[in-house]
Amino acid sequence: MAGERIAQMIKAARGNEQDFSDVLFGQVTQNKPLIIRVDNRFEVTEQHLVLSRNVQPYSVKVEVPTIASSSTGFVQPPVLAGKIDVNSDVSYQNVVTDVTVGSRLINIQIFRALEVGDYVSLIRSQKGQLYYVLDRR
């Protein structure tokens, strides 16, 4: 009937489950050129990989103030009702004064490049012709 024919056409147009994106897991076996072994079944070479920022080397420069500290100590006599209390112990206080005298740039590494042995999460697309390396585990 017409309904069965339409259902068959929809089913045929839907495609195979393996044609769609899928999440896979792999391990880096070589880093120059990059090769990832996926699910211990096959290897994917660099030309079929797209790397997210999380698995690429990424660092930022941060300006850090340079601080010069000077420390001075003095004896603080105990005060009771506005007058020095001679019956109490004398305390010693340390006063630290910080003065910013400049700044310097430092480089902080946020993400490192993939290394041999790293485990990664991948998303398969384009019927297995392209793999997006999402993150390391």
pLDDT 10s digits, 51-67: 999 999 999 998 888 77
Mean of the per-residue pLDDT values of the chain: 80
65 shares a domain with 33: no
- Tens-place pLDDT, residues 76-109: 555 555 565 656 665 655 566 667 778 888 899 9
Residue 5 is assigned to a structural domain of this protein: no
- How many domains is the chain partitioned into structurally? 2
106 shares a domain with 75: yes
Confidence of residue 13 (pLDDT cuts 50, 70, 90): low
For residue 73, the enclosing domain spans: 58-111
CATH classification of the domain holding 52:
2.40.50.140
63 shares a domain with 130: no
Residue 9 is assigned to a structural domain of this protein: no
Residue 85 is assigned to a structural domain of this protein: yes
- pTM greater than the 0.85 cutoff: no
Query: What would the DSSP string read from start to end of the chain?
Result: -HHHHHHHHHHHHH--GGGS-EEEEEEEEEETTEEEEETTTEEEEGGGEEE-GGGS-EEEEEEEEEEEEEEEEEEE--EETTEE-TTSPPEEEEEEEEEEEEEEEEEEEEE----TT-EEEEEEEGGGTEEEEEEE-
